[in-house]
Amino acid sequence: MSEPTVYEEDLPDVITVVQAREAGGVEVFESAEVPAPRPAEGQLLVKTAAAGVNFIETYQRSGVYAVEYPFVPGKEGTGTVLAVGDGVESFSIGQRVATTEAATGTYASHFLVDAAKAVAVPDEITDEQAAALPLQGVTAHYLINSTYKVAPGETVLTHAGAGGVGQILTQLLKARGARVITTTSSEEKAEIAQAAGADHVLGYDGFAEKVREITNGDGVSVVYDGVGKDTFQGSLESLAVRGMLVLFGGASGQVPPFDLQELNARGGLFVTRPAVQWYLRNAEERNWRFTELFAHLSSGDLKLNIGGTYPLAEAGRAQDDLENRRTTGKLILVP
């Protein structure tokens, strides 16, 4: 492999990372200097401008999900291309890129990403927006465009309307012309969901009955459910005939096995369990989703709620705030 091209300065010999030295609480995080990676064929070396913080990273740190320690978390980030590996023609040195599929951890001053899994960031999009958008934005995009394509005028139920995905879902659905019913767990969160544009905001208790009242007994075309165990039955009860329940997460726990005959008894319902990797299958699909999301940001149809910006060295504090629900909106790290 030929030497990568260098942008503005020599490639660093070491980079700064935040790593979990072992499984445990946020106290296992430590800042460290490690040898700087070099891009392999088809890869980019990116100087990190900002990285997104996601709940899955708390599971990896704590040992709920098996990883090898020391472990540098993070798949979501944005920054400037510092060097390219052989065969990369789609990006140039100095270009800003974003990804939700980094090859090395983004809790770092630099990270590697396959060029095929990166997208160019338009000039009008800030680094903070580019870091906050990828995972939650792509999730919302595939849910309403690919898993179940929502048509103007349809009524949709979402859960956790004050959450990161929930707020983006509501805004994209309203831009589509849909009517949005959502659920939240508190008055404070209800205000956030209303600010995002939800037409009806309900508490979780008895939400299915209230959805039936709002829809004159018909139910909704689709439910986007990222809560899981605690809402699954009510989500089924909220659906119209031939409606679809899209279970895309399990914040309250995993749904136990259930009798498929219940789908027939409730009106020929559909249930699906998507995940983001099945909706980023190639560069064409990836670019389509990001292009539309960036356009929504530029037009003002979509506004991101960045709930906190933390220095990279304080990644533990960011995760602690996330786990203990001290913030709303997206959390990002800045080297």
* Phi and psi angles of residue 187, each rounded to the nearest 5 degrees, phi first: -65, -40
Task: Give the model's pLDDT for residue 330.
Answer: 93
Report the chain's mean pLDDT, rounded to a whole number: 95
Q: Is the peptide bond before 70 cis (omega within 30 degrees of 0)?
A: yes
Dihedral sign from CA coordinates of 99, 100, 105, 108? positive
Residues of each domain in the chain carrying CATH 3.90.180.10: 14-133+304-334
Whole-number pLDDT of residue 327: 81
| pLDDT beneath 70: ranges in the chain | 1-9
Q: Check if the beta carbon of residue 38 is closer than 8 Å to that of residue 83.
A: yes
| CATH 3.40.50.720-classified regions of the chain | 137-277
pLDDT digits (tens, 9 = 90+) for 294-329: 999 999 999 999 989 999 999 999 999 988 878 878
CATH of segment(s) 137-277: 3.40.50.720
For tokens 């140039």, the residue is 92
Give the separation between CA 169 and CA 46, rounded to whole angstroms: 29
* Per-residue pLDDT, 251: 84
pTM equals 0.91
Please give the pLDDT value at position 2: 53
Buried b (16+ CB within 10 A) or exposed e, 138-148: bbbbbbbbebb
* 201-226: pLDDT as tens digits: 999 999 999 999 999 999 999 999 99
User: Comparing C-alpha atoms, which of 150, 151, 152, 126 is closest to residue 140?
Assistant: 150
Q: For residue 20, with 0-12 CB atoms within 10 Å meaning exposed, 13-18 middle and 19 or more buried, which class applies?
A: buried
Instruction: Name the CATH superfamily housing domain 14-133+304-334.
Output: Medium-chain alcohol dehydrogenases, catalytic domain (3.90.180.10)
